[in-house]
């Protein structure tokens, strides 16, 4: 652990600060949009725009890096992020915010691709798993910390937007000044989606549904909280609780994942999260109950991302795993684009109102649980001793990080096979 920190502390510190800025601007826009009188549909368009940009950035950023290098891409995208964050309060129009969110999503995607390729380069076979775990923890801590900064100033003014812009700007300093040399950059061509669907129907369907659930959490939780009349302090705590749950429950679910049929664990996680969403929808007037529901939903749905990737890997050869990562991230991104739009429609006063936020997540999670139950009847389970490991990942990760996790899973599997072969040889 200390070896990873000593070699990649600057990168991890910078990424933590970056997640603070990203988490802060998401919550801030949800509340400021309510103060500006934007409709729920308009805010859903704003929140969906981030994922449109993110999906585009994940496709174009690798080519940008190959053309001009990591440092230039990093610096250019950082300047755009800071500029857009400052412009949000100056141009209080939902459609201007849509454009800004597309730019922000594109830039953050490119930044993640760049930083995660650096992290991969700074790790080796011995510490890659620890690096992945630290990276996930840093991301979670950053988002949770952002909710505390949200309370520093009045969201109706400029100060909080300035804070978000400054945090993002400063986050690049430790990375650009301390990380060297820049790594060689290459990505694997994605597997055709038809082949991926044939290999793991549950992985593909699950990633699409989970994209909608996560984007609703990430983009619309603050919009829901403002619509439900929560105070600023309550909004901050409510949004943070999703990510606290994800951080706390990631490792217990990961432990079970390596010891049982993953389809059963997917069924359990999805139905548990769906049931919590139903309870919150029906009993949303109780703030403590809302927090419990947010903890369970976040704690179940975020680990499902890693779990679905690990489940898909169980049906792939080692050579196909890196190629599958790009396809899985793309499918998840499609669901993420649609998530806020549908949530916003369901939250409109003419449909379900604010409880539509939880109803949307409940429908998707319960559908995922039902499909996981169906898939258990279609082919026998792979024995747990023959499955690969589950690497902790977040839905905010770029295809580079997912491919990075795939490499770690492959290396670990190969090492375990070699150890088993040596034990067999020694016994003989």
Q: Evaluate if residue 180 carries a pLDDT over 60.
A: no
Residue listed under structure tokens 């990093």: 74
Share of the chain above pLDDT 70, in %: 86
**Contacts with 211 (C-beta within 8 Å, 6 or more apart), sequence order:** 51, 331, 332, 333, 334, 335, 336, 337, 338, 339, 395
Is residue 188, in this structure, part of any structural domain at all? no
Q: Evaluate if residue 298 carries a pLDDT over 80.
A: yes
Q: Evaluate if residue 388 carries a pLDDT over 90.
A: no
Q: What pLDDT, on the 0 to 100 scale, is given for residue 135?
A: 80
DSSP for 195-232, written as a single string: HHHHH-HHHHHHHHHHHHHHHHHHHHHHHHHHHTT--H
Q: Evaluate if residue 116 carries a pLDDT over 60.
A: yes
Is residue 3, in this structure, part of any structural domain at all? no
Contact present, 40 and 353 (Cβ < 8 Å): no
**Contacts with 178 (C-beta within 8 Å, 6 or more apart), sequence order:** 10, 11
Q: Evaluate if residue 147 carries a pLDDT over 80.
A: yes
User: Per-residue confidence at 171, pLDDT binned at 50, 70, 90?
Assistant: confident
Lowest mean pLDDT among 157-171, 196-210, 234-248, 316-330: 316-330
Contact present, 33 and 89 (Cβ < 8 Å): no
Residue 160, domain CATH: 1.20.1250.20
Is residue 176, in this structure, part of any structural domain at all? yes
Mean pLDDT score, 19-44? 89
Residue whose C-alpha is closest to residue 305's, from 197, 190, 394, 205: 394
Q: How far apart are CA 112 and CA 396, in angstroms?
A: 9
Is residue 323, in this structure, part of any structural domain at all? yes
Q: What pLDDT, on the 0 to 100 scale, is given for residue 114?
A: 76
Extract the tokens encoding 183.
Answer: 């790594």
Question: Considering Cα of 74, then 76, then 82, then 87, what sign does the dihedral take?
Answer: negative
What is the domain count for the chain? 1
Is residue 186, in this structure, part of any structural domain at all? no
Mean pLDDT score, 77-105? 90
Q: Evaluate if residue 428 carries a pLDDT over 60.
A: no
Q: How far apart are CA 11 and CA 266, in angstroms?
A: 32
Is residue 224, in this structure, part of any structural domain at all? yes
Lowest mean pLDDT among 160-164, 219-223, 398-402: 398-402
DSSP for 363-385, written as a single string: HHHHHHHHHHHHHTTTSPPPPGG
pLDDT tens sequence across 58-68: 778 777 877 87
Contact present, 130 and 4 (Cβ < 8 Å): yes
Q: What pLDDT, on the 0 to 100 scale, is given for residue 350?
A: 84
**C-alpha count within 13 angstroms, C-beta hemisphere, residue 308:** 37
Domain assignment of residue 399, given as a range: 8-181+193-427
Chain-centroid distance of CA 247 in Å reads 12
Mean pLDDT score, 7-24? 82
Is residue 399, in this structure, part of any structural domain at all? yes
Mean pLDDT score, 205-229? 91
Q: Evaluate if residue 387 carries a pLDDT over 90.
A: no
Extract the tokens encoding 256.
Answer: 């079970």
Distances (CA, A) of 196 to 127, 136, 240, 397: 29, 26, 34, 20
Contact present, 182 and 69 (Cβ < 8 Å): yes
Is residue 1, in this structure, part of any structural domain at all? no
pLDDT tens sequence across 323-382: 777 788 888 889 999 999 999 999 988 889 999 999 999 999 999 999 999 999 988 888
Q: Evaluate if residue 275 carries a pLDDT over 80.
A: yes
């Amino acid at each position: 652990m200390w070896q990873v920190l000593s070699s990649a502390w600057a990168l991890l510190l910078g990424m933590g600060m970056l997640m603070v800025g990203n988490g802060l601007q998401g919550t801030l826009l949800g509340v400021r949009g309510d103060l500006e009188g934007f409709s729920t549909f308009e805010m859903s368009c704003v929140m969906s725009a981030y994922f449109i940009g993110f999906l585009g950035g994940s496709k174009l950023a690798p080519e940008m890096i190959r053309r001009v290098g990591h440092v230039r891409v990093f610096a250019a995208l950082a300047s755009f992020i800071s500029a857009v964050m400052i412009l949000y309060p100056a141009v209080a129009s939902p459609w201007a915010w849509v454009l800004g969110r597309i730019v922000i999503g594109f830039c953050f995607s490119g930044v993640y691709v760049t930083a995660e390729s650096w992290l991969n380069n700074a790790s080796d076979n011995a510490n890659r798993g620890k690096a992945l775990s630290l990276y996930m923890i840093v991301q979670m801590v950053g988002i949770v910390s952002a909710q505390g900064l949200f309370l520093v100033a009045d969201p109706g003014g400029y100060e909080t937007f300035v804070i978000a812009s400054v945090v993002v700007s400063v986050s690049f300093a430790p990375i650009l000044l301390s990380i060297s040399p820049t790594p060689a950059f290459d990505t694997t061509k994605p597997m055709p989606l038809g082949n991926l669907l044939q290999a793991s129907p549950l992985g593909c369907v699950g990633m699409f549904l989970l994209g909608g659930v996560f984007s609703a959490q990430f983009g619309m939780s603050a919009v829901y909280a403002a619509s439900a009349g929560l105070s600023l302090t309550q909004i901050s705590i409510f949004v943070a609780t999703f990510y606290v749950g994800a951080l706390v429950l990631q490792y217990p679910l990961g432990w079970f994942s390596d010891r049982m049929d993953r389809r059963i664990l997917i069924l359990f996680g999805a139905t548990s999260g769906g049931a919590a969403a139903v309870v919150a929808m029906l009993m949303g007037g109780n703030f403590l109950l809302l927090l419990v529901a947010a903890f369970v939903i976040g704690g179940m749905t975020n680990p499902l991302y890693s779990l679905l990737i690990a489940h898909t890997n169980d049906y792939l050869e080692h050579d196909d795993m890196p190629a599958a990562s790009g396809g899985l991230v793309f499918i998840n991104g499609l669901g993420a684009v649609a998530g806020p739009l549908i949530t916003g429609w369901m939250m409109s006063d003419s449909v379900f109102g604010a409880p539509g936020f939880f109803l949307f997540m409940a429908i998707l999670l319960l559908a995922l649980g039902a499909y996981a139950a169906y898939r258990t009847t279609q082919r026998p389970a792979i024995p747990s001793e023959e499955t690969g490991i589950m690497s902790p990942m977040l839905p905010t990760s770029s295809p580079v990080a997912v491919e990075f996790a795939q490499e770690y899973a492959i290396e670990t599997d190969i090492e375990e096979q070699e150890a088993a072969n040596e034990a067999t040889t020694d016994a003989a």
